[in-house]
Amino acid sequence: MLGVSHLLISGTAASLLLGSADPVIIAVGAIGGLLPDIDISTSPAGRMFPWISGYFESRMPHRSCTHSLVASAAVAIASYGMALFLPKLLPIASALTVGYTAGWFADCFTRGGVEMFWPSPIRCVCPGNRNLRLKTGSNAEYFILCILVAVALSIFSVNSRGGILTQFNRLIASTSGVQHVYNESGSTHRIVANIKGVRAGDRSRVNSQFYIIQTQGTGFIVLEPSTNKLYKAGTDPDSQIIIEEITADVGKAAITTIESIFLEDQPIGEAIRKFNRAGAAVFVSGQLSVDDFDTSTIPRDPYQFPSITATPSTINLEAAPLQVINKFLGGEFASGQLQIKSIVSSQ
């Protein structure tokens, strides 16, 4: 096969099997697909490492040792062994192994085949009819090359938008699909929910985008970006938005962290002040004990999610925005435990 065919096949295989649109992963996979041809001096890998290609070329036929399961195992052992000491290289190790294996496996469809089970000299070829196998540089290979380009572009596009499962979940427009996207990417990205439905209060139509803050029951607590208002979107009786259709997109990169703090009869605003950071969206959950709290100070809007509920002796918070807490509860003395969720954009 031509070098460009190996590049496309191996790069596409790495993107597909690893579910990645990362250019580095694709490039490593593509380069890995060229390495099996290091056993011949006229190949790109052979010209890059002539002393290695000379060794193989003088001792064994083309597409033998380097085009085998043994060679793939050796590449996997070496690359994953290095990743044990440098864990950040694990995706690179996977891409290299996948790309290398895809590179020589593609040669099974050529007229010469490969010694897949080397050191056995038996060659694996496909299909059985020799006339249907590819000849390097033939019109048939160029035709397949055009198909590979289209397939590669499609796979890269799908993976750049969250992968095959994400696109399938968009197609079925279900809460379980959105849950999958949120669980998979919610710690590293903003998850944008595209919601069609009605508001429970006045039955007005909803067809808009929201940020998912967290799950709640069978639904989601979502933030409307234009108003900074919270809603519960779902099919539960306490939902403010009744969902008819919902899909999710992986938005901008954002790191989500959760920290716990304890209050011991101290002002709530003082305890959470350190989380008021520039560029961070902060939401607070937990239960606090208070003395003779005036519940009339808590804002009540039946059209929004009640992130703050209270009795004279307790205050319950669920995904309550930091600014709201500071405004209505900042000076209140309380005891208890809170969880602070901070979402910080990294772009």
pLDDT digit string (tens) for 254-297?
A: 999 999 999 999 999 999 999 988 888 999 999 999 999 999 88
For the residues of 271-329, what is the DSSP string, one character each? HHGGG--TTEEEEEEEEEE-SS--GGGS---TTS---EEE-SSEEEEEEEEHHHHHHHH
Angstrom distance (rounded) from CA 47 to CA 52 = 10
| Number of domains forming the structure of the chain | 3
Angstrom distance (rounded) from CA 120 to CA 105 = 16
Q: Are 235 and 208 in the same domain? A: yes
Q: Are 114 and 183 in the same domain? A: no
Q: Are 192 and 242 in the same domain? A: yes
CATH number at residue 217: 2.30.30.690
Q: Are 72 and 83 in the same domain? A: yes
pLDDT digit string (tens) for 40-56?
A: 888 888 888 888 888 88
Q: Are 80 and 181 in the same domain? A: no
Angstrom distance (rounded) from CA 227 to CA 250 = 21
Q: Are 272 and 341 in the same domain? A: yes
Q: Are 89 and 50 in the same domain? A: yes
Domain final position from 131, 160, 189: 160
- Interhelix angle 139-160/3-18, nearest 10 degrees: 30
Of the listed ranges 47-61, 149-163, 201-215, 259-273, the one predicted with least confidence: 149-163
Q: Does position 172 have pLDDT exceeding 50, yes or no? A: no
Domain final position from 144, 160, 176: 160
Q: Are 284 and 172 in the same domain? A: no
Full-model pTM: 0.55
- C-alpha of 195 from chain center: 21
Domain final position from 128, 160, 192: 160
* Domain carrying residue 337: 255-345
Q: Are 276 and 175 in the same domain? A: no
Q: How would residue 162 be classed by pLDDT, with cut points 50, 70 and 90?
A: low
Q: Are 324 and 287 in the same domain? A: yes
Q: Are 108 and 19 in the same domain? A: yes
Query: Mean pLDDT for the chain?
Result: 84
Q: Are 70 and 191 in the same domain? A: no
